[in-house]
Each structure stands twice: as structure tokens, then as C-alpha cells.
A and B are shown apart, each in its own frame.
Chain A
């Protein structure tokens, strides 16, 4: 158990509304990631973080922003939700070696199921 929680676990919202998802970890890991998972696609990286206030874009970052003001919390914001952002969102932590190095092993939170109507 990597001590990762996500909130909310389920959310239904309307197009055009802002949405913030929270990822919380208890083990002080430096590296954190947000992914989305959709049918027919592998997990795709949205944003990632090297540390407090240190973030960068991933493969599918358009329409998303992130913030990390504390080591333990990594927030994902959909500024104006669209139906294409209906998905399952997973947060992950990386255990060592820096993001995406060969030694970095990722552990995932339980996910947030978001529906945008």
C-alpha cells in the first residue's frame, strides 16, 4: 500500500464547470503523476511533478492544470470541463530515480471516475 488517496472518488458535473481532483500521499514521495484512462487507450499522462511547485506537462495536458503546494498533495484542475474529459483519473507516485527513469516504479491511487454531462 503506497498510501495514496484520491478525492472525490466519483463526480458528475456539467460542461463548462471547473473541477478539481485531489491526490494525497502519506509517504513523502517526490514524484507524482496524473493519468487518465479511457477505453481503447493505455493510461495517458496528463501532468507530473518533480516536487513542490515543480510541475510539467504530459502527453494530454490541454484543458488541465495542476498545482503542488505541499509534498503530499497534487491537485488536478479542469478549468472548464468538457464531455471529452469524461474519464477515470489516476494519480500515481514514483518511488525512485526521477520521473520516467528506468528505476522509477509507479504506484497508483484508487482513481476518480469523472462524468461530464
Chain B
């Protein structure tokens, strides 16, 4: 099993739709979690950290489910500008060996 797994997609959704992605992780000792957004041929940009209690930033909601070992990202009222690849990052104890980037989920918002 991969340490961090994401559905590569693409998720094709109409404007205004709600879409959710999950990212599963294998190490139960994982400590911190992030979502990054990466536009085509650009650098990853931090979207949000994921807190145990869940957190929201405008149309974006991130949640952590420790029991089932996954994090989720919910995007409401999708915009064309949300089209991108969403990367999850999982950190576990153990230095650099335990920082794992997912391969990303591609989202395409359609007019």
C-alpha cells in the first residue's frame, strides 16, 4: 500500500457544483496534513492546513478522519478558476523520510 494515495481523476464538474476529494494515508502516527493546489506547469501553492477539528476557508473545507486515516477537501460552488491538481501532504514522525506528497487529484470545472 502506498503511504499516501489520491484518486488521480480527472474530476469533471460543472460550475457551481460541490466536489470532494479524499487522500488516504497508511501511517497511523501521521501528525500533520496539508492541501496544496498546483496549476498546470506551475509550482504547488499551499491551500490550507488540515486540523483535527476540521477547518474552513471560504468555499473550501478540509477534514481529517483519523479512524479511517484519510483527509478530505470539499469545494463548494466550484469556479472555473478552481481547475487545478490538488496535492495532499502528510507528515509523520521521522524527519524527511516521513514527509509524503500525494500524486494529486486533477479537477476540471466545466462551464
Contacts and interface: CB of A to CB of B under 8 A. Distances in A.
Interface stretch (B9-17, B42-50, B56-64, B65-73): B42-50
A50 B82 CA distance: 34
A74 interface: no
Contacts of A107: 45-46
Interface residues of A, number: 23
Contacts of B31: 102
**Which bracket fits the contact residues of B?**
20 to 34
B102 A42 contact: yes
Nearest to B36: A108
Interface string B61-100: 0000000000000000000000000010001000111111
Interface in A91-117: 99-100, 102-103, 105-111, 113
B108 to A, nearest CB: 18
B109 interface: no
Given A107-B46, A109-B43, A41 B103 contact: yes
Interface of B: 4, 31-32, 34, 41-46, 49, 87, 91, 95-104
Interface of A: 40-45, 48, 56, 58-59, 90, 99-100, 102-103, 105-111, 113
Given A48-B96, A102-B91, 7 more contacts: A42-B104, A43-B44, A45-B96, A59-B96, A108-B43, A108-B45, A113-B41
